[in-house]
A and B are shown apart, each in its own frame.
Chain A
Amino acid sequence: MNPLLEIKHLHASVGGKEILSGVDLTIAPGEVHAVMGPNGSGKSTLAYVLAGRPGYEVTRGEILFRGRDLLAMSPEERAREGVFLAFQYPVEIPGVSNIYFLKAAVNAVRKHRGLPEYDAMEFLALVKQRAKIVEIDEELIKRPVNEGFSGGEKKRNEIFQMAMLEPVLAVLDETDSGLDIDALRIVANGVNQLRSAERSMIVVTHYQRLLNYIVPDFLHVLVDGRIVREGGKELALELEEKGYVWLEKEPPAVAAGSAAPVNGR
Chain B
Amino acid sequence: MEAVAVERGYSPARRAGSVGARWLDDVREDAFARFEELGFPTAKLEAWRFTGIQPIVSTPWAPAEATARPAVAPWGRGPRLVFVNGSLSRELSSPAPDGIRAMGLAEALAAEPALVEAHLTRLAPHRHNAFAALNTASFQDAACVFVSPGAAVAAPLTLVLVSAADGELTASHPRVLIVAGERSQASIVQVFEGSDRYFTNAVTEIEVGPGASLEHTLLQRESEPACHVHFLAGRVARSGRLVSNNVSLGGSLARTDISAVLAGEGAEAALNGLFLGRGAQHLDNHTTIDHAMPHTSSRELYKGIMDGASRGVFHGTILVRPDAQKTDAIQTNKNLLLSRHALVNSTPALQIFADDVKCKHGSTTGQLDEAALFYMRARGIGQSEARALLTRAFAADVADRIAATEVRAEIDREIGERLGGATGDAS
Contact = CB atoms under 8 A, between A and B. Distances in A.
Q: Do A and B bind each other?
A: yes
Interface of A: 51-54, 74-76, 78-80, 84-85, 87, 90-96, 100-102, 104-106, 108-109, 112, 144-145, 161, 165
Interface string B366-391: 00011110111111111101100110
Contacts, number: 80
Given A91-B372, A96-B390, A96-B393, A74 B377 contact: yes
18 contacts: A51-B378, A54-B370, A76-B378, A76-B381, A85-B378, A91-B374, A92-B372, A93-B376, A94-B393, A95-B392, A95-B393, A96-B390, A96-B393, A104-B381, A105-B379, A106-B380, A108-B379, A109-B380
Chain B contact residues, majority secondary structure: helix
Given A75-B374, A101-B389, A161 B380 contact: no
A76 B375 contact: no
B397 interface: yes
Nearest to B370: A54
Nearest to A162: B379
B378 A75 contact: yes
A144 B370 CA distance: 17
B375 A93 contact: yes
Given A74-B383, A76-B382, A108-B382, A95 B397 contact: yes
Given A75-B378, A96-B389, A165-B379, 5 more contacts: A87-B375, A91-B369, A93-B375, A104-B376, A161-B379
B376 A101 contact: yes
Contacts of B374: 51, 53-54, 75, 91
A96 B375 CA distance: 12
Contacts of B375: 87, 90-91, 93, 145
Nearest to B392: A95
A92 B392 CA distance: 15
A161 B372 CA distance: 15
8 A-B pairs with least C-beta separation:
A95-B393, A79-B380, A105-B379, A75-B377, A91-B375, A108-B380, A109-B380, A95-B396
Nearest to B394: A95
A87 B376 CA distance: 12
Nearest to B391: A95
Q: How large is the interface on B (under 10, 10 to 19, 20 to 34, 35 or more residues)?
A: 20 to 34
A108 B392 CA distance: 19
A53 B378 CA distance: 8
Contacts of A112: 380
A102 B377 CA distance: 12
B381 A108 contact: yes
A101 B394 CA distance: 15
A192 B386 CA distance: 30
Chain B CB within 10 Å — which of A54, A76, A106 has the most? Answer: A76
B377 A80 contact: no
Chain A CB within 10 Å — which of B370, B377, B380, B393 has the most? Answer: B380
A174 to B, nearest CB: 16
Contacts of A96: 389-390, 392-393
A89 B377 CA distance: 15
Interface string B84-126: 0000000000000000000000000000000000000000000
A84 B379 CA distance: 7
Contact of B380 (A80, A87, A100): A80
